Amino acid sequence: MTRLASLVLLAIFLAAGIVPAASERGQSPPSLPTYTDDGKLVFPANYREWIYLTSGLDMSYSPNGMAGHSIFDNVFVNPEAYREFTRTGTWPDKTMLVLETRVAATNVSINKSGHFQTGELMGREVHVKDEARFPGNWAFFGFDDKDTAKMVPHEAACYSCHEKHGAVDTTFVQFYPTLIEIARGKATLSTGYLTDEKTLSSSPKTSKPSSNR
């Protein structure tokens, strides 16, 4: 076979789709927000295969913290948005951040102190950037155990708090340890956050081991 014929054959194979599709080689499908006809967001079922950003334990806006169970929160973002953030320091359109909360446990199996995560989900929320769709570009959705959810109304306090204090584009990048320095380097930190840095605690207080053993 001549070189030209080989090239033509390769081109024909490619055109015919004989070369495996990206998804067959292990790539996930694009992670775009999907809505029902009545405007509910469809929960992104495969979010645990997205990019992990951070976890917290019993984080609260109040000095008195939370009552009852100890709770972990885990944050994930769709891979396309993550890659764009590492390149630009901010979120592209169609970014989806998922917050899941899980009951913490202790003293099981070989674990004798500290806290670990259990299979008991407490809740799941999604923060979506969809510029053509939402006022202020972003919207929150709380899912509980349902597959679709209505948008949290824009009057809710979460919007104004995120807009005022979010380090980047209304999101709490100040708690995403691998992204905050990227944003600082790309000069995408919000005015509100930079003001907070001056007026609130400017350096993290290292927390001590909890007494909950």
Site for a copy of itself in 177-206 (CB under 8 A): 177-178, 180-181, 193, 196-197, 200-201, 203-206
**Nearest-5° angle of CA 145, CA 115, CA 60?**
65
CA 100 to chain centre: 9
CA 104 to chain centre: 20
Dig out the tokens for 65 from the structure: 């913290």
Q: Report the residue from 44, 72, 149, 171 that binds a copy of itself according to the rule CB under 8 A.
A: 72
76 interacts with a copy of itself by CB under 8 A: yes
Of the pair 63, 135, the CB lying nearest a copy of itself is at 63
Of the pair 40, 58, the CB lying nearest a copy of itself is at 58
CA 210 to chain centre: 26
Q: What is the DSSP letter of 212?
A: -
116 interacts with a copy of itself by CB under 8 A: yes
d(CA 19, CA 14): 6
d(CA 78, CA 66): 29
Of the pair 26, 153, the CB lying nearest a copy of itself is at 26
| Residue 145 CB, nearest approach to a copy of itself (Å) | 15
Residue 213's SS3 state is coil
Task: Name which of residues 151 to 180 contact a copy of itself (CB under 8 A).
Answer: 161, 165, 167, 172, 174-175, 177-178, 180
Q: Report the residue from 40, 42, 43, 52 that binds a copy of itself according to the rule CB under 8 A.
A: 52
Of the pair 36, 113, the CB lying nearest a copy of itself is at 113
